[in-house]
Amino acid sequence: MSPNSDVASIIDSNNKKLCACLAAGDSAAAARCYANDARLMASNVDTITNDGLAAFWQGAIDMGVKDATLISDTVEVHGDTAIEVGKYVLYGDDRVALDNGKYLVVWKHEDGDWKLKEDIFNTSVAAA
């Protein structure tokens, strides 16, 4: 395995962990997937930093997000930083798709693990 594929495998595992946190309704655990100096940049909200991550994910859970799927298209590793580009699907009850789109995450190797540092995503669903 190349170093890129090793890191890609870890990132895939960490993405599954984040999705499991959402499925469990555990916004605090979802927030712990992020680096100490993380920023989340979602549509229609200001940039969210660590202090607001749990509240952001709790809001998503409260709006009906019950699960998610994250699929990496590419992962590039540059030392203690990795750049991931992929697609997401957010699910509600009975795994009904609520939203789908694309994302870009800059990962940071921190405290012995890969954490989300810069997380930006936006929908691919056309506005009503």
For 33-79, the pLDDT digits (tens) are 999 999 999 988 999 999 999 999 999 999 999 999 999 999 999 99
Residue 106 clears pLDDT 90, i.e. is over it: yes
Instruction: Give me the chain's average pLDDT, please.
Output: 94
Residue 2 clears pLDDT 80, i.e. is over it: no
- The DSSP annotation for the chain comes to --HHHHHHHHHHHHHHHHHHHHHTT-HHHHHTTEEEEEEEE-TTS--EEHHHHHHHHHHHHHTT--EEEEEEEEEEEETTEEEEEEEEEEE-GGG-EEEEEEEEEEEEEETTEEEEEEEEEEE-SPP-
At residue 3, the pLDDT reads 57
* pLDDT per residue as tens digits for the range 90-103: 999 999 999 999 99
At residue 5, the pLDDT reads 77
**What is the percent of the chain where pLDDT is above 90?**
91
Q: How confident is the model at residue 127 (pLDDT cuts 50, 70, 90)?
A: confident
Cα–Cα distance measured from residue 115 to residue 51, given in angstroms and rounded to the nearest whole number: 16
At residue 88, the pLDDT reads 97
Domain ranges of the chain: 3-122
At residue 38, the pLDDT reads 98
Q: Which CATH number fits domain 3-122: 3.30.310.40, 3.30.56.10, 3.40.50.720, 3.10.450.50?
A: 3.10.450.50
Cα–Cα distance measured from residue 128 to residue 44, given in angstroms and rounded to the nearest whole number: 15
Phi, psi of 42 (to 5 degrees): -100, 165
